[in-house]
Structure 1
Amino acid sequence: MTASPVVRDAVGNGAGVTAAVPGNAPIGPLVAARALVAAMTDRPTGSVSPSVYETARLVSDAPWLTGHAERLRYLLAAQRPDGAWGAPGTYALVPTVSAVEALLRSRRAEWPHPAEVGWAAVRGLAALRVQLLVADEPVPDMPGVDLIVPALLDRISALLAGDGESAEPAASMPLPMPRGMTRRRAEAVGALLAAGRPVPQKLWHAFEVLDESARAGAAVRPVSGAVGASPAATAAWLGDPGRPGADPAALGYLTWAAGEQDGPVPCTTPITVFERAWVLASLARVGAAGDVPGHVISELAAAVGPAGAATSPGLPTDADTTAVALYALARLGRPVPPDSLLAFDTGAHFCTWRGEDGTSVTTNAHVLEALGWQTRHAPAHPYAEAARRVAGWLVAAQLPDGSWTDRWHASAFYATASVAVSLAGYAPAAGPAIDRAIDWVLATQRTDGSWGRWGGTDEETAYALHVLLGTGRPVRPVVGAAVRRALAFLDDDRSSAATATPLWHDKDLYHPVLIVRAAVLSALQLARFAGHPAE
């Protein structure tokens, strides 16, 4: 019997794996996990999907960068039949506004098929107007969205106003702000920069949409060649690469980022610490993190400094990455004291980063796991009170239907799994909340056995299985039936493209490939523990 499609996909479509399994026996989650760790170490900068938003910023701001034609082709190929880009609803706004601005700017550039670019721009602009005028839901809480949207709407309006030959019949109509969004934050940042104040580090990631006066800010400097770990931000900071004094490290970073996927680029790269923390935590939680190279563990431990860990060099340290790294290290036998989390404690909950505008239940769920492990192994630890407080805050944040939602992921299944699993491990009194989450998961399974916000995905189905099987609650018959249907869905031979739906929040939605594969593999391991091995 050969490996199931989901296991083949989880280790990279089976490349180089079947030969390691004697007698063509089924590839179990533990064998696949070893292959996944090997894939992670073979590509230490991380594996993440390209971004329409970020790629369009390079088309607009860095047409000189190698891979420009491939980036244009990517934008044209990614355009939806309705003219927009990205996920359904208002999730389409950021990628669409970025792609439209880039294509409008590119219509006069050298290109084998200029009419194709012009027509895509017109269709995109029409879709954008529809989004802005009739959208009945607020714009998702994405990093920098209240800076990105106003800035790019202004640039589109300027391009249309200066184009006397525009094919857009309503070119003179102003582009309205989307529902629920104002220019308040953009104006406050503009005033900050006009006063000569330095650009706060948390804004470096969206440097490409700041006022041009900020682009010469002496306080902004690349880290490992990148500004804010973002190709778009780095290109905006660099400007003309041929000018005297242009930073060669920044140019090197952009050339590398563009070459990683032959033109298109992700929002954040590299994601080494983020990817390793999440992959190893997922696998270790279910006992599937064997054979992790010692240098990988040591490098992850070294990434947690006195101020915590950052997702990528040049980004601020954050409680989420710090907590997941701490938990993974503890489960791998290299516990690091969680003192670095102290700076993120607000007294009620933990913020993702200092100065955060909102709150995150998944960050606090991960904090609970990091602190909970420490207090379990050292009951007198001073973080015991903080762990209890965070657990209470998480229970209070549960929605009436039994789910949780979060600002870092488009799917409630990710948030619900993160919170339910952490409560199950480190909040003994949270059983009723976990049972409500299980009921919600059972009620939302699709007829094909999957779970998903917009359609069934392997990722969201895995999170649902974590809630059903990874929380230690009594397994009712209805749960067993739901698990069997879910495993049949995961075993279905679907294309990898169809199962790689971007759901994670950055400036655009993205898909962290190996992190999602680890979530699926750990779900399969849970199913095996429960007596439901994937065939």
Structure 2
Amino acid sequence: MNALSEQILSELRRLLCEMSDGGSVGPSVYDTAQALRFYGILTGREEAYAWLIAQQQADGGWGSADFPLFRHTPTWAALLALQRADPLLGAADALQAATRFLQREPDPYVDAVPEDAPIGAELILPQFCGEAASLLGDVGFPRHPALLPLRQARLAELAAGAMLPSGHPMLHSWEAWGTSPSTACPDDDGSIGISPAATAAWRAHALIQGSAPNVARADGYLQTASRATRCDIEGVVPNVWPINVFEPCSSLYTLHLAGLFAHPALAEAVRVIVAQLETRLSVRGLGPALYFAPDADDTAVALCVLHLAGRDPAVDALRSFESGEHFVTFPGERNASVSTNIHALHALRLLGKPSSTTCAYVEANRSPRGAWSNEKWHVSWLYPTAHAIAALAQGKPQWRDERALAALLQAQRHDGGWGTGRTSTFEETAYALFALHVMDRNQEATERQRIAQAVARALEWMLVRHAAHALPQTPLWIGKELYCPTRVVRVAELAGLWLALRWGRRVLGEGAGAMQ
């Protein structure tokens, strides 16, 4: 066990030291399909088309059947991209299956827009419907009617046609509304809105309209973003990139949840990241990437991390996102984020600025069973629940929550893991352990024993599935489709396993003491 703990610390240290390359994000069906469409049929993209076809599920759609809300966007994109594929690639069967899937799959946007709808759905999906109607005719595709008023409202905001400032949130979905390259300009990384799909679309329009000075920069960005997927296929790109603030910031926050933030083996790597965050934090806050708009979520997590590192950051940057009784992630967003407000609450409490209204908002947004769900940035209820428990317990030594504890213990699967879909995942099991770690402090002996038994079962499950330097594969984070920020997830997995190992040794030690 000691050897495994050292191996985990070594891998964590390596991951933290690598977080200067822009970030690691798994491959995206949606963005790859969009990039292929906007690039056209080019020699050298056959592997990317083949990869796209290989991701199709048995029912004809793309994306996990466990989360149907997030399947329409990648399936529409893949269907339209494969219309232009070389017939020799064998796309005909894939196209037929995709058409049947879209005709058969219930439309989640008939009457309303779900709170956890994918990013940009109101712009992207209606556009796909229009393109499919002109390209394929009326063959019974879904129409997503509830999204149409939202799309019209967004387009009205953009009607002036002026260039948006670099990093503006609307640029992230430029491919769904932009037609003139003059409305955007590549940022210092060469991206349009840290989006491969938006960048590929902008590049195509720039070439058509003879505005090519920045096309080479966009090409360079797409090539670099493709490398971030680690799949080594030219043209396969991630859903978002870079994430050079979100990745290190979230990773250090995760280390705190596991009790690893101040571990001597990680001290130097943590110090380097903290110094970078301190330099980058401005009065406007921080966004997910250096050249993207600041948001309340990344700002709040950064404030938490800086305080934990002994710094004294000002809370003003976070206050600028306060709107009534809650915090908005970005100004003008469709709906508020539960986890953003959880992180804001945690930051305010750490900085000695507790907010009763933010606490009330967090409490009001839990489900009847006592957990937190319907989150707009992560599909699993275990992610906001683990973070909410840490935030609510901050500065309250005697804090307890029986409903949340019962929900966590009851949700553990027979195999020992936790998962929102049909199977347990390493990432979600780690979140459950972070939550139980906080809740174990002030429990009666009987409840502590139940928690210890749950941790022992989880540890057994994790040990069977752990492999050194493995890349996480399950996309649970919400973007334009579900995606996986690989290093962020791997840090959570390793931190969860490390916590379970340490916890297991402690429980064994207590048991031995009782036997004596």
Kindly state the Cα deviation for residue 532 of structure 1 after the two structures are TM-superposed. 4.4
Aligned counterpart for 1:404 among listed residues 346, 353, 372 = 372
The one-letter amino acid of 1:444's match is: A
Determine the C-alpha separation between the residues in 1 that align with 2:383 and 2:341.
13
* Aligned position for 2:499: 526
Kindly state the Cα deviation for residue 494 of structure 1 after the two structures are TM-superposed. 6.7
Does the 8 Å CA contact 1:469/1:527 hold for their aligned counterparts? no
Determine the C-alpha separation between the residues in 1 that align with 2:315 and 2:361.
20
Matched residue of 2:146: which SS? Answer: coil
Aligned counterpart for 2:391 among listed residues 391, 403, 422 = 422
- Does residue 50 of the first structure (1) align with residue 23 of the second (2)? no
Kindly state the Cα deviation for residue 26 of structure 1 after the two structures are TM-superposed. 1.7
Determine the C-alpha separation between the residues in 2 that align with 1:151 and 1:275.
31
Unaligned 5+ segments in structure 1 are 4-24, 162-171, 376-382
Kindly state the Cα deviation for residue 365 of structure 1 after the two structures are TM-superposed. 1.4
Aligned counterpart for 1:95 among listed residues 57, 64, 74 = 74
The one-letter amino acid of 2:329's match is: T
Kindly state the Cα deviation for residue 426 of structure 1 after the two structures are TM-superposed. 3.8
* Aligned position for 1:447: 414
Matched residue of 2:245: which SS? Answer: helix
1:309-328 mapped onto 2 (5 Å cutoff): 309-328=286-305
Does the 8 Å CA contact 2:193/2:199 hold for their aligned counterparts? yes
Change (3 A) 1:81 1:285: closer
Change (3 A) 1:398 1:85: same
Aligned counterpart for 1:362 among listed residues 309, 315, 339 = 339
Determine the C-alpha separation between the residues in 2 that align with 1:96 and 1:534.
48
Aligned counterpart for 2:274 among listed residues 297, 317, 321 = 297
- Does residue 39 of the first structure (1) align with residue 5 of the second (2)? no
Determine the C-alpha separation between the residues in 1 that align with 2:109 and 2:158.
32
* Aligned position for 2:126: 150
Unaligned 5+ segments in structure 2 are 509-516
Does the 8 Å CA contact 2:244/2:290 hold for their aligned counterparts? no
TM-score, length-normalised on structure 2? 0.86
The one-letter amino acid of 1:47's match is: S
Aligned counterpart for 1:177 among listed residues 143, 163, 168 = 143
Does the 8 Å CA contact 2:73/2:480 hold for their aligned counterparts? yes
- Does residue 513 of the first structure (1) align with residue 489 of the second (2)? no
Determine the C-alpha separation between the residues in 2 that align with 1:396 and 1:132.
30
More displaced, 521-530 or 311-320? 521-530
Aligned counterpart for 1:392 among listed residues 360, 365, 388 = 360
Change (3 A) 1:389 1:127: same
* Aligned position for 1:20: none
The one-letter amino acid of 1:282's match is: T
Matched residue of 1:249: which SS? Answer: helix
Identity of matched residues, %: 32
Aligned counterpart for 1:117 among listed residues 91, 102, 118 = 91
* Aligned position for 1:165: none
Change (3 A) 1:134 1:523: closer
Matched residue of 1:441: which SS? Answer: helix
The one-letter amino acid of 2:78's match is: A
Kindly state the Cα deviation for residue 402 of structure 1 after the two structures are TM-superposed. 1.1
The one-letter amino acid of 1:479's match is: I
Matched residue of 2:267: which SS? Answer: coil
Does the 8 Å CA contact 2:120/2:480 hold for their aligned counterparts? yes
* Aligned position for 1:273: 245
- Does residue 231 of the first structure (1) align with residue 196 of the second (2)? yes
* Aligned position for 1:339: 316
More displaced, 497-506 or 221-230? 497-506
Change (3 A) 1:351 1:35: same
* Aligned position for 2:182: 217
- Cα deviation, 1:29-65, whole Å, max 9, x if unaligned, reads x652343232232352111111111111111112367
Determine the C-alpha separation between the residues in 1 that align with 2:503 and 2:464.
21
Does the 8 Å CA contact 1:62/1:235 hold for their aligned counterparts? yes
The one-letter amino acid of 2:326's match is: H
Does the 8 Å CA contact 2:12/2:494 hold for their aligned counterparts? no
* Aligned position for 1:459: 427
* Aligned position for 2:514: none
Determine the C-alpha separation between the residues in 2 that align with 1:348 and 1:149.
32
The one-letter amino acid of 2:295's match is: D
Aligned counterpart for 2:219 among listed residues 251, 255, 258 = 251
Matched residue of 2:241: which SS? Answer: coil
Does the 8 Å CA contact 2:257/2:434 hold for their aligned counterparts? no
Kindly state the Cα deviation for residue 211 of structure 1 after the two structures are TM-superposed. 4.8
Change (3 A) 1:69 1:440: same
Determine the C-alpha separation between the residues in 1 that align with 2:19 and 2:385.
30
Determine the C-alpha separation between the residues in 1 that align with 2:108 and 2:379.
21
Determine the C-alpha separation between the residues in 1 that align with 2:403 and 2:82.
47
Determine the C-alpha separation between the residues in 2 that align with 1:299 and 1:487.
34
Give the count of matched residue pairs.
Answer: 482
Does the 8 Å CA contact 1:449/1:482 hold for their aligned counterparts? yes
The one-letter amino acid of 2:120's match is: G
The one-letter amino acid of 2:458's match is: A
Determine the C-alpha separation between the residues in 2 that align with 1:490 and 1:273.
29
Change (3 A) 1:401 1:223: same
More displaced, 301-310 or 235-244? 235-244
Does the 8 Å CA contact 2:472/2:489 hold for their aligned counterparts? no
1:61-72 mapped onto 2 (5 Å cutoff): 61-63=38-40, 68-72=45-49
* Aligned position for 1:168: none
Change (3 A) 1:360 1:191: closer
The one-letter amino acid of 1:309's match is: L
* Aligned position for 2:51: 74
The one-letter amino acid of 1:268's match is: V
Matched residue of 1:492: which SS? Answer: helix
Matched residue of 1:183: which SS? Answer: helix
Does the 8 Å CA contact 1:285/1:331 hold for their aligned counterparts? no
Determine the C-alpha separation between the residues in 2 that align with 1:440 and 1:75.
38
Does the 8 Å CA contact 2:113/2:147 hold for their aligned counterparts? no
* Aligned position for 1:22: none
Kindly state the Cα deviation for residue 344 of structure 1 after the two structures are TM-superposed. 0.8
* Aligned position for 1:501: 474
The one-letter amino acid of 1:507's match is: K
Determine the C-alpha separation between the residues in 2 that align with 1:446 and 1:204.
41
Change (3 A) 1:491 1:135: farther
Change (3 A) 1:133 1:250: closer
Change (3 A) 1:222 1:534: farther
Does the 8 Å CA contact 2:286/2:298 hold for their aligned counterparts? yes
Kindly state the Cα deviation for residue 321 of structure 1 after the two structures are TM-superposed. 0.6
CA RMSD across the alignment: 2.8
Matched residue of 1:355: which SS? Answer: coil
